[in-house]
Amino acid sequence: MLLRSLYTLNYRNLHNQTLEFGPGLNAIVGKNGQGKTNLLEAVYLALTGLSEAGKLEQLVQHQQQEGFVRATLERDEGPSIFEVGVGKGRRVAKVDGIRVKAGEMLRGAAVWIRPEDNDLVLGSPSVRRGYLDQLLGKLSVRYAAVMALYDRNLAQRNASLRSGEHWALEVWDTQLCDLGSEMLTMRRRVLLRLQELAQAAHEALGGGNSLELTLQETTTPESYLFDLKNRRSEEIARGNTVIGPHRDDLELKLHGVAAQTFASRGEARTVALALRQAEFELLAEKNDEMPLLLIDDFSAELDLERRVHLLELAHRAPQALVTGTESFPRALLTYQVEGGMFRR
């Protein structure tokens, strides 16, 4: 699969234009704040239907009501067009002109490496849960569906806790345990392979083989229902469900100690890169083809050894879009960007 072109309309600070891309390394070069990150974000949205924006309207240009991205892909079965329109609280996705749900986009088609990935290590448990859940959602349509059902049941159970309708908890408990136990089981299964790949990548990046990934769970599939009932009085007092996959953490350890607490920024950057490389390789294994690689701010907080490693990964991918403030060696295509306008 190759991204052949991207068209944007009223998206962030980007000019309305069509950009063409080729196989291999595509470089996007310019000063900070000119639109490099916004371009990668637009590509990621068009392919996967996913956005990190807090609100969809944040993706739309000032004084505009709606924004639009369209990606033209070259696939084994022929060309295909992926489109996503966004507005206030609204997202419309289409594949080859047919409207689809966001979950039916190519969620495993791209891996995005960003300086903000340091938060995977130094940030809160919710960031690491989000990484694991998004990865599993890319690997398994079933996981994404179960997680969506779990979130709805969780919201309804919390509403019952806050409203005093405690009689309804018996109904929500059974459903929540079934869905949550399936999520826990799938997380455990994928962690076995994720640990192998992340540790190997961490060692190749010069961080050594000391990286350990561990699920910190608040309950287990075997004790889920018992634990819920045992915490009932606490949950009623708080008005929230206090155990389950929505409260768990993906603990990262370096030399046996928590990276969140003890890792330096350089060590955190190396661990974060190892996690993203593991994601890239897992998706390649699952889909029998490498995803598109998006690398934002190529040299941010990286020494020469790690920049070389990341550049080798970019060249190993069938296609990579890499941004930076300086030109890249062996780039087959280079765009210069200024004020949201891209020129070759």
Q: pLDDT 10s digit of each residue in the chain, 344 long?
A: 899 999 999 999 999 999 999 999 999 999 999 999 999 999 999 999 988 887 888 999 988 999 999 999 998 788 999 999 999 888 999 999 999 987 788 989 999 999 999 999 999 999 999 999 999 999 999 999 999 999 999 999 999 999 988 888 988 999 999 999 999 999 999 999 999 999 999 999 998 879 999 999 999 999 999 999 999 999 999 999 999 999 999 999 999 999 999 999 889 999 999 999 999 999 999 988 999 999 998 877 778 888 888 889 999 999 999 999 988 878 999 999 999 999 99
Residue 105, burial from CB neighbour count under 10 angstroms (0-12, 13-18, 19+):
buried
The span from the CA of 213 to the CA of 208, in Å, is 14
The span from the CA of 92 to the CA of 291, in Å, is 23
Q: Using one digit for the tens of pLDDT, what is the confidence trace for 70-91?
A: 999 998 788 999 999 999 888 9
CATH assignment of 1-109+296-344, among 3.20.20.10, 3.40.50.1220, 3.40.190.290, 3.40.50.300: 3.40.50.300
The one-letter amino acid at 21: F
DSSP-assigned letters across all residues of 139-185:
H-HHHHHHHHHHHHHHHHHHHHHHHT-GGGHHHHHHHHHHHHHHHHH
Topology agreement, domain 1-109+296-344 and domain 115-290 = no
Give a three-class secondary structure readout of 223-273: CHHHHHHHCHHHHHHHCCCCCCHHHCEEEEEECCEEHHHHCCHHHHHHHHH
Closest CA to 82 of 95, 91, 101, 92: 95
Q: Give CATH for domain 115-290.
A: 1.20.1050.90
Query: Taking the model in full, what pTM does it have?
Result: 0.94
Domain extent listing, the chain: 1-109+296-344, 115-290
Report the side by side order of strands in the sheet with 249-254: 211-216, 249-254, 257-258
